[in-house]
Structure 1
Amino acid sequence: MKPSRITVLVVDDDPGHRNMLTTLLADWGFRVEGAEDGETAVDRCRERAYDLILMDVRMAGISGIEALREIKGYNPAIPILIMTAYSNVETAVEAIKAGAYDYLTKPLDFEDLRQTMDRALDHAALRDENRALRQTLSASFDSGGMIGQSLPMHRLMEMLATIAPSEATVMITGESGTGKELIARAIHANSPRRKGPYIAVNCAALTETLLESELFGHEKGAFTGAERRREGRFLAADKGTIFLDEIGEMPLSMQVKLLRVIQEREIQRVGGDQTLKVDVRIVAATNRDLLAEVEAGRFRQDLYYRLNVVALALPPLRDREEDIPLLAAHFLKRFADTNDKRIKGFTPEAMDRLLKHSWPGNVRELENAVERAVVLALGEYVGERELPPTLVGGEEQSLEGGFGHLTLEELERRAILDALEAAGGNKSEAARRLGITRKTLHAKLNRYGE
């Protein structure tokens, strides 16, 4: 937004400092108003919505912190920057807790002031865009369980809302574990084909012969073991959507046959000579660089361009840092409910570990890490001890009791036995430490034969 469209309210009971700031901001192109105290600022904000407020802390009458709270109570969307000549940690913390965007000390560094103002305005603009997008999507868009409020996710959701209603073929790219099938399901759920079938095929999980039969079906006797006719996935997806996962793993001979399906919208069963029309929307996904595969001769160029009509690139989790707490909390609740545990959240140290990890396995790795932590948790909060060693920099055996590379079920059994031992055999106390009910503890002990 251009400065000329932005109105800033400067609140300071020092006339000289207030006039200096209003002149400076006007020179920068902003529309500026001044207020001589907190009461006046609160009244002004009830009359109109300012884009940004610069407010002193120490003022006659109500303080800047008190005015901040009143303004935020009335209009929490206005970004407020607090200024003070009395810099101390307590005031800064109090201002931020009360809702200030940031904290500036006098005498002001004008370059720092401008940068902080720009950040606050950009943050407010993005927040407003996100709110508008959520309002637009909430009425008509099924997110399919996708979670995130980061800028990359904001852009992805906006793109999804645009392309889903079309009939265009979509290519989803991204690292393993980023949630490509969730995106494919969201595309189907928000398309005109939503009432039709959604069929997913993992192209990497089948041999070439089995993949052809899986996709196109086969006639009875087409090959050894083909005891009856089978309809393939393309026919099953008629009037709906077919999701071809790991398309980069498809053999070249199958790529030729898929290209024909895309071009002609018809298939032929293995061992048959009849052509069958199909009406499907194709969504494909890969974690490979398909252009590099084309150059290496492992993927057909003509098929690449047929599939890549609309490209969606999923961001890795390391580029969505602000989504990590949301995703972790979502997985924590799900696995706590599944395991009948009363876990309130993560300790600050554990959350710090989650935020600092690079997540090469992306959302899937985070999901697995949280599931493991829930199984091992002995109290109401997940701590560093319960996180995988890859996150805390230790070896698996460094965990108390030496869990080694056990399965989650074995880890749960070990955690229960350790809690019982620590509680001196008192099952009520062990259940409390584990964050589960005594009834659940009894059920788990019975299951493990303890």
Structure 2
Amino acid sequence: MTEKGKSGKILIVDDNEDLLKAAKIFLKRHFQQVDLETNPETIPTLLNNESYDVILLDMNFTKDVSSGKEGYYWLEKILEIDPSSVVVLITAYGDVQMAVKAIKAGATDFVLKPWENEKLLATLFSAMRLRETRLEVEDLKTKQEAINLKINDRYGDIIGQSASIRKVFETIDRVAATDANVLILGENGTGKELIARAIHNNSPRKGQVFVNVDLGSVSETLFESELFGHKKGAFTDAKEDRPGRFEIANKGTLFLDEIGNLSLPLQAKLLTALQNRKVSRVGANKEVEIDIRLVCATNMPLYDMVKENKFRQDLLYRINTIEVELPPLRDRLEDIPVLAEHFLKHYSEKYDKNISKISDASLTRMQKHNWPGNIRELQHALERAVIMGNSQVLQPEDFNFTSQPQQQLDGDNVMLDQFKLEDVEKILIRKVLKKYNGNITQAASELGLTRSSLYRRLEKYGL
């Protein structure tokens, strides 16, 4: 925003000098810069020297000609020089077919002269907002390309050699080349976003944007505005038109993280958009077609939630054409040394620390740790150890392990710290059933459950 709140650079190309002067007098009150040109031959030079938010282009420059061919010609030239240009064509002839042809050729809008000042102003403001949106998308694409250049291998920072992670790599290889919807399942910290990015980076859409939406942080009231966009004035804080994440991700990949957190009403709205492949901004009647690759992720048990009527079955079918299940770190212990070395190198460089190795004792201790926070917890553990370490080799005392490594679960040859609450519950139910020879009533009584609750758990755990 510039002095007096004015912004925007406008170029008007028309052979009518009186019209140009009148337009400049009016528009200078509303825009930062208004440039005038009577000769369209200078357009390439002008565009090479200046970036305009909107270009008002006359369709006819030859006297007594009303075909609009000159306008179409210069429209094409402008878009060759800058594909993100926003061009509004002007003409004295109200030919509807000409208007349609102009829009199809790449024009943003079409105005008739003599124009009404307020209508012209509204058209220009709308066109300028479109220009801002296009530049935002271009910026996102540039950033995405920069991210892609930093990736040294096909899977970026997805590191590991275990059988379980190799299986994930195989799935990425098969699914990335398609446009199939992918659902990534896994605990917090297992790298779901990295998998989503790997799918995108190995797909035909890799040159387009990757848009990440954390649905767990989107409130009920802002859901539609955030995902579908809004029109100016649609609600109290809607001070300008704004595209939603669906529109921004058009032609690219949309990653919806924590999809299991959506309420049923929001699930219905999301399903409608996915089925129709169209979105409508809040406060607008016009629908916008979308072309996205959809990747979703959650750490929640969606299939159980479907049975409990907490997640729509039709939405689950829509998003899980292909499922990728990420193993927790405790199930891929052989990957801990290579992951730890990777994080050690990264944080040693970041904090300028001369630490070159992790001791064998530290690695052994790591492989006995439960890692409830998975790879993210391991990453933070290495960062802390690098910061606090005083020697070239990290020792166990440089780490802050909170869980005891070898607590036995009474009666079963398993490590307590290697299990989630669901694992312990499954073992307990199995033990009590064995104690009462499969008698559901007696087992439910001892467990403090109703028979129906116990039956649900038996089904859930496959017992």
Question: What's the TM-score, normalizing by structure 2?
Answer: 0.54
Of 258, 283, 290, the match for 2:295: 283
Give me the whole-angstrom Cα distance separating, in 2, the residues matched to 1:285 and 1:307: 10
Give me the whole-angstrom Cα distance separating, in 2, the residues matched to 1:198 and 1:353: 38
Of 364, 371, 385, the match for 2:376: 364
Give me the whole-angstrom Cα distance separating, in 2, the residues matched to 1:141 and 1:298: 39
Of 165, 168, 173, the match for 1:161: 173
Give me the whole-angstrom Cα distance separating, in 1, the residues matched to 2:215 and 2:205: 23
Given that residues 141 and 161 in structure 1 are in contact (C-alpha distance below 8 angstroms), is that contact kept between their aligned partners in structure 2?
no
1:409-428 aligned at under 5 Å gives the runs none
Give me the whole-angstrom Cα distance separating, in 2, the residues matched to 1:297 and 1:392: 38
Letter aligned with residue 330 of structure 1: H
Name the residue aligned to 2:394.
382
Given that residues 250 and 290 in structure 2 are in contact (C-alpha distance below 8 angstroms), is that contact kept between their aligned partners in structure 1?
yes
* 290-299 or 196-205, larger mean C-alpha shift: 290-299
Of 309, 312, 316, the match for 2:328: 316
Give me the whole-angstrom Cα distance separating, in 2, the residues matched to 1:192 and 1:144: 17
Matched, 1:349 2:349: no
Name the residue aligned to 1:35.
none
1:162-241 aligned at under 5 Å gives the runs 162-241=174-253
Name the residue aligned to 2:420.
none
Shift of 1:189: 0.4
- The residue matched to 1:354 in structure 2 has which SS? helix
Which string of whole-angstrom CA distances, capped at 9 and with x for unpartnered residues, describes residues 408-428 of structure 1? Answer: xxxxxxxxxxxxxxxxxxxxx
Which string of whole-angstrom CA distances, capped at 9 and with x for unpartnered residues, describes residues 269-323 of structure 1? Answer: 1111111100001000000010111112111110011011101100111111110
Letter aligned with residue 342 of structure 1: N
Give me the whole-angstrom Cα distance separating, in 2, the residues matched to 1:144 and 1:279: 25
Q: 1:391 to 1:375 in 2, by over 3 A?
A: farther
Given that residues 246 and 292 in structure 2 are in contact (C-alpha distance below 8 angstroms), is that contact kept between their aligned partners in structure 1?
yes
Give me the whole-angstrom Cα distance separating, in 1, the residues matched to 2:283 and 2:164: 47
Given that residues 353 and 384 in structure 1 are in contact (C-alpha distance below 8 angstroms), is that contact kept between their aligned partners in structure 2?
yes
Given that residues 384 and 392 in structure 1 are in contact (C-alpha distance below 8 angstroms), is that contact kept between their aligned partners in structure 2?
no
Of 126, 147, 159, the match for 2:159: 147
Shift of 1:141: 7.0
Of 282, 300, 304, the match for 2:312: 300
Structure 1 runs of 4+ off > 6 angstroms? none
Structure 1: unaligned runs, 5 residues or longer = 1-139, 394-450
Name the residue aligned to 1:333.
345
Given that residues 353 and 392 in structure 1 are in contact (C-alpha distance below 8 angstroms), is that contact kept between their aligned partners in structure 2?
no
Letter aligned with residue 232 of structure 1: G
Which string of whole-angstrom CA distances, capped at 9 and with x for unpartnered residues, describes residues 211-245 of structure 1? Answer: 22110000111111110110000000000000000
Give me the whole-angstrom Cα distance separating, in 2, the residues matched to 1:211 and 1:353: 44
Given that residues 336 and 366 in structure 2 are in contact (C-alpha distance below 8 angstroms), is that contact kept between their aligned partners in structure 1?
yes
Which string of whole-angstrom CA distances, capped at 9 and with x for unpartnered residues, describes residues 156-215 of structure 1? Answer: 101110100001000000000000000000000011111111000000001112122110
Give me the whole-angstrom Cα distance separating, in 2, the residues matched to 1:344 and 1:196: 38
- The residue matched to 1:282 in structure 2 has which SS? strand
Give me the whole-angstrom Cα distance separating, in 1, the residues matched to 2:245 and 2:263: 18
Shift of 1:391: 5.5
Give me the whole-angstrom Cα distance separating, in 1, the residues matched to 2:233 and 2:249: 24
Q: 1:344 to 1:141 in 2, by over 3 A?
A: closer
Structure 2: unaligned runs, 5 residues or longer = 1-151, 406-463
Name the residue aligned to 1:246.
258
- The residue matched to 1:144 in structure 2 has which SS? coil
Give me the whole-angstrom Cα distance separating, in 2, the residues matched to 1:329 and 1:390: 21
Shift of 1:389: 3.4
Given that residues 369 and 401 in structure 2 are in contact (C-alpha distance below 8 angstroms), is that contact kept between their aligned partners in structure 1?
no
- The residue matched to 1:204 in structure 2 has which SS? helix
Which string of whole-angstrom CA distances, capped at 9 and with x for unpartnered residues, describes residues 341-377 of structure 1? Answer: 1101112211111111111110000001110100110
Shift of 1:392: 6.8
Shift of 1:258: 1.0
Given that residues 216 and 261 in structure 2 are in contact (C-alpha distance below 8 angstroms), is that contact kept between their aligned partners in structure 1?
yes
Name the residue aligned to 1:255.
267
Letter aligned with residue 291 of structure 1: Y
- The residue matched to 1:208 in structure 2 has which SS? coil
Which string of whole-angstrom CA distances, capped at 9 and with x for unpartnered residues, describes residues 6-42 of structure 1? Answer: xxxxxxxxxxxxxxxxxxxxxxxxxxxxxxxxxxxxx
